[in-house]
Structure formats: structure tokens, C-alpha cells
């Protein structure tokens, strides 16, 4: 993984020292809140419902064990002993106190972590496929590109006051695990005629106006990545609307001006910028790439794995759901579920973080990933180590076998923490997970992505959930709208609303109705919920959800 | 016709700790909603809001929140304020932990 050079370390130390002084000046009264707020946001510090919240970037979701241990240390020393992993591969601490934040940031800097540009109208943490460097299906590891983009965008003088926040996601695979079509810029590493390059998408996003990203360049030569990215963002910086916060994202800019116009303006700007890039960025990229060399995979017998599968049904169930294909023979990608039934999606205690760090060190080439689906990944584990790994995970409540199933729910913090939320998300996720665990239907239902947001801003990605749930405030009462048929993959689609929303105590039952309807109409056990929905459309689900309306129509 | 004024309290987050605080009749910030001043007159409420907002060194994000008169002081009329005075529903953290 990437390791800071002297410049990076000095930059971060200076930035943290500046923020320490800004906090001191706020506390002694020299700065008003209006003056201080943009400064704290630039450093990831929010004020939420019950407390401050510090959002720490995990660049492209990659951590080493030393970093994970430091996250645990921060949780124990300055917070309440846990952290919350988010849909943008960040970790959030829900209870820091303002005077402690400079110490927290210094502590994070010791392991090369920071909270810069995790808020504000800047280029945010660059996210990537959480299986990067391990997936059997990738053209190349996307993380060196993500790191280059991180370095380019950090403190970029032109892009500190964009019309609105700006999010990049990068993948190296055709199979999209990074939701690149729901990002302001999505980048896919591709190969054409034996040459490496990038497919560049622009103007995707969720929120109040969900839009699937559009291809602005189908094949961008690799040396043009930074000048072209700079041209896109620069065009947006000039053209993006600043008069209306809800129309300020690039998806609106692209839609209002049309993709062709946006592309033409980008190409014009690109022609100006291209000569300014001397190629030093490509040299830097080569240097960065060396940091991401694959680990020394070992050749070992796999008998222990095969034997454990035979004799231990619990292990086998876990292996069936939580492992993914690795590019190296004898290896597997392990997903550690942070979705134990009834737990808060994405939360890990400091003890769990330390356990994961130990296991990554012992069995996983010291490599840990955080997925946008709020789980932890050990990308490189030899299958002969899986029985021992699984036994350790069980001890720490980390062995839940539910990846990609009903209870593997994405949920934003919602009104339990977030000042913007209009309803709660977490307890809805907890109830749904518990219900289907009790019904013992999880494995029968099979692959399913439920995603819950507690407000229209859609941090919980509800628009691209196979089943999406949006919590709203309807006349002073929590109300939950359901969308069906959304998809965050390479076949991205926005889910369609079923109809009127459901009360807090009705929403779990409504999801049960939908899934029992699915079980009744699927053509075979192999037909997934999403496939069945695409075949039959929304009507059978609506009829089951709103029987009164159905009766009225028939009368 | 303008909507009739409904009773309110002044609330904010504490500058240092970030937790929820309420403004009392004697110009203090309290952690307990029951001790907050219930404002029933609109002009008085506006004036009190200006006074409370001036306390930048103690409180952040000062605003008026709808409340009703209860047996033990003001009680929330909206679920958001109910969560603010209690804490999150997934852990016994926040104010509920201090009760």
C-alpha cells in the first residue's frame, strides 16, 4: 500500500497544526462559528444531533493493520469504543469533543491517515473497488490511479470552492463493485487493442435527483487521466450552478447543458490543459504503482480447507456466502460482515478492529479493505488458513454468513446521529435483519441488496438498492417509501417507487410482504429477486403491498 | 393569516462537548429539557433567541424548537427533538445514558 513520502508527511503535519490553532482560536472566542465552520468542515469535523462527528478518510478503502489498530486506539481514547464505516469508505466517530480533535488528527497522522476533504465543496475521498488487486476479473489494480487522484485533488487550489461536493470512484473491473455510475466522475480501467486506458463517466449521483453517469470518453489514453479529469472539474467549476444548492451537482450541470455541450467544453479546456502536463504525473504514477505490488502469494496445499468444508457446516455456510474468487490460485477474498443480525450496519468495536488487524497480519498479507457496503474485506487469504481465520472471527462476533443477503443492509446513520436526517435508518435495518433471521428465509431468498437512507440525500444509496427504503418526515411522523428494481452494478438502474410510504412499525412487514411475493412468483430458486422483478415488473408487488387499492380498482 | 405561535424552547449544541443544551430563564445553558424556559410569546421568543445566539463561546447552532407544556417542564412535539433529548436508538449513549 501507499506510504507517505517526506512531502506528504510535512503537508499533513502543517495542516494539522493549522487546524489546532483554528480550534484554539474558536475556543478562546477569536473566531465566530460562522468563521470556524468552513474550517472545521474542511477537516472532516461536523456538528451532528447529539455531538460532533469526525469523518476520517480511508483512501480507496485500503488500510494496513497498524492503521486499523490506530483507529481502535482513537475509538478508545477519545470516543465511545467503536467506529462507523460508511458508504464512502470513510470511518466516522460519533462522539468526539472539540478540544480533543487536534490530538485525534495528530494521532491519525502517525499512521498516515487524515480527515482532509471529507466534507465541504471539494473533491472528496476517492473510492475504489474493495476487491482491488485481488479480484479475478480486473484489468489492473485501480488503487494507484485512485492514489494519484487523491494527491492531485488534495488542496488543489482551483478546486477548494466548487459549486458543490465532488466524488470520484475508480474500478479496474467490468463488474462494478464501486458504484462508479453513481459518482460525479466514475473511472474504469480498460484495455483496448492491447493498450491500457480509461473509460470515463460523468454526472452520476443519487440524492434528490438520481442520475446514472454517462460515458464522456469511452477510451481515454492513460497519460491523459489528470489533464482530462482537471478539464471536467474545471468546466464544472465555471458552469456549475451556485444559485441553488439543489441544482449545484455536476449531474444537473450535465443534464441542463446536455452531454454533448459538456463534452465539447471539456475537450476545449482539455486542449488548454494538456500541454501543461509535462508527464511528471505519469512518472509519479509509476512510483505509486510500486507501492501496490501484489504480495508474495504462496503455493500451499488446500486440503485443510476442503476438510473443514466437509466436516463443519457452519464453516461451509460462511465460506459459501463470504468468499469471492481471487486471481491467485489457492487464495480467496474474505468478506467480514459488520451486519450481525440486530447490530448497527457498519459499526465495529475497538476490540473487533484489533482482531481484524491481527488476522490481517497473520493470514492476510497485512491488507484490509473497507467496502462501500459497510463490511471489511481481507483481500488475500490462502484457503488453507480459512478454518483458523473463521474460528477467530467467531470469537469476535465477526463470522456472520450473510454477505449479499437480506440482512447485509446498507444504512446511513439516519436520525439517530445525522442532523440532516428526516427519519431513522439504523433501527429499520436492525428490525429487518432480525425478522428474516427469525423467519429463516435469508438463504432461501438468496442474493438481495436492501439499502436504507434516512433522508433524500441518499447516503444509504436507496435508489440503487434492489429494495430501497427512504425515511421521510410526513406531518411530524416517520414514514418510509419503498423503491424496487434499483441496481448499483454495471447494469445500474434507479429503483421505482411502489406507492405511498409505510409507518415505522409497518416497514418491516412491508419488506416481508415483498419478499414473500417474490418467493411465490419466482420461476426457480436460481431466479434472483432482481431478475424476477425485471421479468414481472412492479405490479404483483404493488398488489401485495396495497391490497385496499387493488380492491377499489376491481370494484 | 399567519399561523398562531406555538410554544418553544431555545436549544443548541454545546461548543466544547457538542451535546444538546437548552436555554433557561436565567440565561444559563442546561443539559435538561425540563429546566428550559418555555417561550409562549412570539416577540419574547425572538428577543430571547437574539440573547442566546450572542453566547457564541458556549453554544452553536442556536434555534427555536417546538415544545408543549408538560407536567415536568417542556416536552417535545416532534420526534427529532425527542431523539435530541434522549440519544440514539441503537446504543444507550447520549443523554439517556446520564439519566
* The three grid cell numbers given for residue A319, joined into one nine-digit string: 465460506
Q: Over 70: is that where the pLDDT of A105 sits? A: yes
Q: Over 80: is that where the pLDDT of A85 sits? A: yes
Burial call A62-101: b when 16+ CB within 10 Å, e when fewer: bbbbebbbbbbbbbbebbbebbbbbbbbbbbbbbbbbebb
Q: What is the dihedral of CA A412, A415, A418, A419, to 10 degrees?
A: 150
Q: What pLDDT shows up at residue A549?
A: 76
* The three grid cell numbers given for residue A374, joined into one nine-digit string: 459497510
- Band (pLDDT 50/70/90 cuts) for residue A548 is confident
Angstrom distances, CA of residue A536 to CA of A153, A267, A356, A463, A517: 45, 43, 42, 19, 11
Tell me the mean pLDDT in the region A369-387. Answer: 98
* A–B interface: beta-carbon pairs under 8 A: 74
Shortest alpha-carbon distance between residue A17 and chain B (Å): 19
Chain B residues near any Cβ of chain A (below 8 Å): 13, 15-20, 56-57, 60-61, 77-80, 83-84, 87-91, 93-95
Inter-chain touch B56–A29, beta carbons under 8 Å: yes
Q: Judging by beta carbons within 10 Å of its beta carbon (0-12, 13-18, 19+), is residue A524 exposed, middle or buried?
A: exposed
Q: Is residue A282 within 8 Å of A223, Cβ to Cβ?
A: yes
Inter-chain touch A97–B79, beta carbons under 8 Å: no
Q: Convert the pLDDT of each residue in A219-233 to its tens digit.
A: 999 999 999 999 999
Nearest chain B alpha carbon to A98? B16
Regarding whether A428 and A340 lie in a shared domain, the answer is: no
Q: Judging by beta carbons within 10 Å of its beta carbon (0-12, 13-18, 19+), is residue A525 exposed, middle or buried?
A: exposed
Regarding whether A101 and A67 lie in a shared domain, the answer is: yes
Chain B residues with CB-CB distance to A416 below 8 A: 83, 88-90
Q: Report pTM.
A: 0.96
Inter-chain touch B16–A426, beta carbons under 8 Å: no
Final residue of a structural domain among A395, A428, A455: A395
Q: What pLDDT shows up at residue B2?
A: 74
Which helix or strand (DSSP H or E) is residue B84 part of? Answer: helix B79-86
A353 inside domain: yes
Strands A168-171 and A185-192: parallel
Regarding whether A450 and A549 lie in a shared domain, the answer is: yes
Regarding whether A207 and A84 lie in a shared domain, the answer is: no
Domain residue ranges of chain B, discontinuous segments joined by +: 8-98
Q: Convert the pLDDT of each residue in A173-199 to its tens digit.
A: 999 999 999 999 999 999 999 999 999
Query: Given its phi and psi angles, is residue A279 left (phi above 0), alpha (psi -120 to 50 degrees) or beta?
Result: left
Q: What pLDDT shows up at residue A280?
A: 93
Regarding whether A423 and A369 lie in a shared domain, the answer is: no
Inter-chain touch B17–A424, beta carbons under 8 Å: no
Regarding whether A146 and A261 lie in a shared domain, the answer is: yes
Regarding whether A525 and A463 lie in a shared domain, the answer is: yes
- Band (pLDDT 50/70/90 cuts) for residue B99 is low
Q: What pLDDT shows up at residue A378?
A: 98
Burial call A412-441: b when 16+ CB within 10 Å, e when fewer: bbbbbbbebbbbbbbbbbbbbbebbbeeeb
Smallest Cβ–Cβ distance between A98 and the set B16, B78, B79 belongs to: B16
Smallest Cβ–Cβ distance between B93 and the set A26, A95, A99 belongs to: A95
The total number of structural domains that make up chain A? 4
* The three grid cell numbers given for residue A304, joined into one nine-digit string: 485443510
Inter-chain touch A415–B79, beta carbons under 8 Å: yes
Q: Convert the pLDDT of each residue in A416-445 to its tens digit.
A: 999 999 999 999 999 999 999 999 999 999
Shortest alpha-carbon distance between residue B26 and chain A (Å): 22
Regarding whether A205 and A170 lie in a shared domain, the answer is: yes
What is the predicted ipTM? 0.96
Q: Over 90: is that where the pLDDT of A542 sits? A: yes
Final residue of a structural domain among A67, A92, A109: A109
Inter-chain touch A98–B15, beta carbons under 8 Å: yes
Domain that holds residue A51: 6-109
* The three grid cell numbers given for residue B10, joined into one nine-digit string: 431555545
Regarding whether A16 and A151 lie in a shared domain, the answer is: no
Task: Give DSSP secondary structure letters for A329-359.
Answer: TTEEEEEEPS--TTSPTTEEEHHHHHHHHHH
CATH number at residue A522: 3.30.413.10
Four-residue CA torsion sign, A348, A351, A353, A358: negative
Chain A residues with CB-CB distance to B13 below 8 A: 47, 51
- Band (pLDDT 50/70/90 cuts) for residue A554 is low
Q: Convert the pLDDT of each residue in A435-479 to its tens digit.
A: 999 999 999 999 999 999 999 999 999 999 999 999 999 999 999
Chain A residues near any Cβ of chain B (below 8 Å): 26-27, 29, 32-33, 47-52, 80, 94-99, 344, 347, 415-417, 424, 426-427, 430, 473, 476-478
Q: Convert the pLDDT of each residue in A129-155 to its tens digit.
A: 999 999 999 999 999 999 999 999 999
Neighbours of B96 (CB within 10 A): 13
Q: Convert the pLDDT of each residue in A243-302 to its tens digit.
A: 999 999 999 999 999 999 999 999 999 999 999 999 999 999 999 999 999 999 999 999
CATH number at residue A361: 3.90.480.20
Q: Over 90: is that where the pLDDT of B1 sits? A: no
Tell me the mean pLDDT in the region A22-36. Answer: 97
Q: Give chain A's mean pLDDT.
A: 97
* The three grid cell numbers given for residue A436, joined into one nine-digit string: 428474516
Regarding whether A286 and A160 lie in a shared domain, the answer is: yes
Rounded to 5 degrees, φ, ψ at A524 are -160, 175
How far is Cα A84 from Cα A65, in angstroms, rounded to an integer? 17
> What percent of chain A has pLDDT above 90?
98
Q: Over 60: is that where the pLDDT of A555 sits? A: no
**A49-A52-A56 Cα angle (round to 5):** 120
**CB under 8 Å to A525, separation ≥6 — which residues?**
A444, A446
Smallest Cβ–Cβ distance between A476 and the set B56, B78, B88 belongs to: B78
Shortest alpha-carbon distance between residue B49 and chain A (Å): 16
Q: What pLDDT shows up at residue A550?
A: 67
Angstrom distances, CA of residue A126 to CA of A90, A173, A273, A413: 10, 17, 22, 21
Neighbours of A446 (CB within 10 A): 18
Task: Give DSSP secondary structure letters for A146-180.
Answer: HHHHHHHHTT-GGGSS-SS-B-EEEESBSS-SS-G
**A93-A180-A408 Cα angle (round to 5):** 55
Point out which residues pair with A215 in neighbouring strands. A201
Regarding whether A426 and A380 lie in a shared domain, the answer is: no
How far is Cα A410 from Cα A337, in angstroms, rounded to an integer? 12
Regarding whether A99 and A54 lie in a shared domain, the answer is: yes
Name the one residue in this structure whose C-alpha cell is 424556559: B37
Alpha carbons within 13 angstroms on the beta-carbon side of residue A64 total 14
Tell me the mean pLDDT in the region A405-419. Answer: 98
Burial call A214-236: b when 16+ CB within 10 Å, e when fewer: bebbeebeeebbbbbbbbbbbbb
Amino acid at each position: 500500500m501507499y506510504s507517505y513520502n517526506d512531502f506528504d508527511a510535512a503537508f499533513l503535519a502543517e495542516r494539522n497544526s493549522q487546524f489546532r490553532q483554528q480550534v484554539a482560536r474558536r475556543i478562546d472566542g477569536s473566531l465566530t462559528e460562522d468563521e470556524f465552520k468552513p474550517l472545521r468542515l474542511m477537516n472532516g469535523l461536523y456538528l451532528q444531533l447529539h455531538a460532533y462527528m469526525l469523518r476520517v478518510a480511508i483512501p480507496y478503502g485500503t488500510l494496513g493493520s497498524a492503521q486499523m489498530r490506530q483507529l481502535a486506539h482513537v475509538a478508545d481514547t477519545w470516543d465511545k469504543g467503536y467506529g462507523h464505516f460508511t458508504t464512502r469508505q470513510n470511518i466516522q466517530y460519533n462522539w468526539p469533543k472539540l478540544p480533543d480533535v487536534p490530538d485525534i488528527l495528530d494521532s491519525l497522522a502517525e499512521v498516515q491517515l487524515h480527515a482532509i476533504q471529507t466534507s465541504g465543496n471539494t473533491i472528496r475521498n476517492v473510492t475504489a473497488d474493495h476487491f482491488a488487486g485481488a479480484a479475478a476479473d480486473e484489468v489492473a489494480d485501480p488503487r494507484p490511479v485512485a492514489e494519484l487522484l487523491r494527491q492531485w485533488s488534495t488542496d488543489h487550489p482551483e478546486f477548494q470552492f466548487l459549486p458543490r461536493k465532488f466524488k470520484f470512484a475508480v474500478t479496474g473491473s467490468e463488474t462494478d463493485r464501486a458504484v462508479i455510475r453513481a459518482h460525479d466522475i466514475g473511472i474504469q480501467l480498460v484495455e483496448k487493442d492491447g493498450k491500457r486506458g480509461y473509460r470515463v463517466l460523468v454526472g452520476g449521483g443519487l440524492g434528490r435527483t438520481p442520475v446514472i453517469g454517462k460515458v464522456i470518453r469511452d477510451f481515454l489514453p492513460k497519460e491523459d487521466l489528470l489533464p482530462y479529469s482537471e478539464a471536467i472539474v474545471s468546466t464544472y467549476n465555471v458552469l456549475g450552478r451556485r444559485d441553488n444548492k439543489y441544482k449545484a451537482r455536476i449531474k444537473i450541470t450535465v443534464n441542463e447543458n446536455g452531454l454533448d455541450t459538456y463534452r465539447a467544453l471539456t475537450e476545449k479546456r482539455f486542449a488548454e490543459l494538456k500541454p501543461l502536463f509535462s508527464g511528471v504525473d505519469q512518472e509519479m504514477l509509476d512510483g505509486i504503482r510500486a507501492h501496490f505490488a501484489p504480495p508474495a502469494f504462496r503455493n500451499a496445499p488446500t486440503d485443510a480447507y476442503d476438510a473443514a468444508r466437509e466436516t463443519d457446516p457452519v464453516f461451509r455456510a460462511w465460506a459459501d456466502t463470504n468468499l469471492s474468487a481471487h486471481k491467485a490460485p489457492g487464495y480467496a477474498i474474505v468478506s467480514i460482515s459488520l451486519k450481525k443480525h440486530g447490530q448497527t450496519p457498519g459499526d465495529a468495536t475497538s476490540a473487533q478492529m484489533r482482531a481484524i488487524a491481527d488476522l490481517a497480519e497473520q493470514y492476510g498479507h497485512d491488507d484490509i479493505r473497507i467496502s462501500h457496503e459497510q463490511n471489511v474485506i481481507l483481500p488475500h487469504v490462502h484457503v488453507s488458513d480459512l478454518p483458523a481465520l473463521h474460528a477467530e472471527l467467531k470469537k469476535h462476533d465477526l463470522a456472520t454468513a450473510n454477505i449479499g443477503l437480506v440482512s447485509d443492509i446498507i444504512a446511513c446513520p439516519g436520525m439517530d446521529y445525522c442532523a440532516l436526517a428526516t427519519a431513522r435508518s439504523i433501527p429499520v435495518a436492525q428490525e429487518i435483519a432480525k425478522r428474516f433471521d427469525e423467519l429463516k428465509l435469508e438463504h432461501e431468498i438468496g442474493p438481495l441488496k436492501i439499502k436504507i437512507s434516512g433522508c433524500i440525500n441518499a447516503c444509504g444509496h436507496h435508489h440503487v438498492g434492489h429494495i430501497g427504503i427512504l425515511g421521510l418526515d410526513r406531518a411530524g411522523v416517520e414514514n418510509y417509501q419503498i423503491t424496487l428494481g434499483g441496481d448499483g452494478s454495471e447494469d445500474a438502474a434507479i429503483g421505482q417507487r411502489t406507492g405511498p410510504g409505510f409507518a415505522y412499525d409497518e416497514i418491516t412487514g412491508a419488506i416481508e410482504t415483498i419478499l414473500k411475493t417474490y418467493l411465490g412468483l419466482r420461476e426457480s430458486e436460481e431466479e434472483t429477486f432482481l431478475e424476477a422483478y425485471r421479468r414481472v415488473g412492479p405490479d404483483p408487488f404493488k398488489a401485495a403491498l396495497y391490497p385496499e387499492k387493488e380492491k377499489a380498482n376491481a370494484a | 393569516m399567519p399561523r398562531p405561535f406555538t410554544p418553544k424552547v431555545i436549544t443548541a449544541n454545546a461548543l466544547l462537548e457538542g451535546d444538546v443544551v437548552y436555554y433557561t430563564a436565567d440565561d444559563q445553558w442546561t443539559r435538561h429539557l425540563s429546566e428550559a424556559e418555555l417561550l409562549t410569546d412570539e416577540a419574547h421568543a425572538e428577543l430571547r433567541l437574539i440573547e442566546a445566539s450572542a453566547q457564541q463561546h458556549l453554544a452553536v447552532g442556536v434555534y427555536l424548537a417546538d415544545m408543549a407544556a408538560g407536567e415536568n417542564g417542556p416536552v417535545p412535539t416532534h420526534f427529532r427533538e425527542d431523539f435530541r433529548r434522549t440519544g440514539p436508538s441503537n446504543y444507550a449513549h447520549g443523554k439517556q445514558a446520564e439519566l
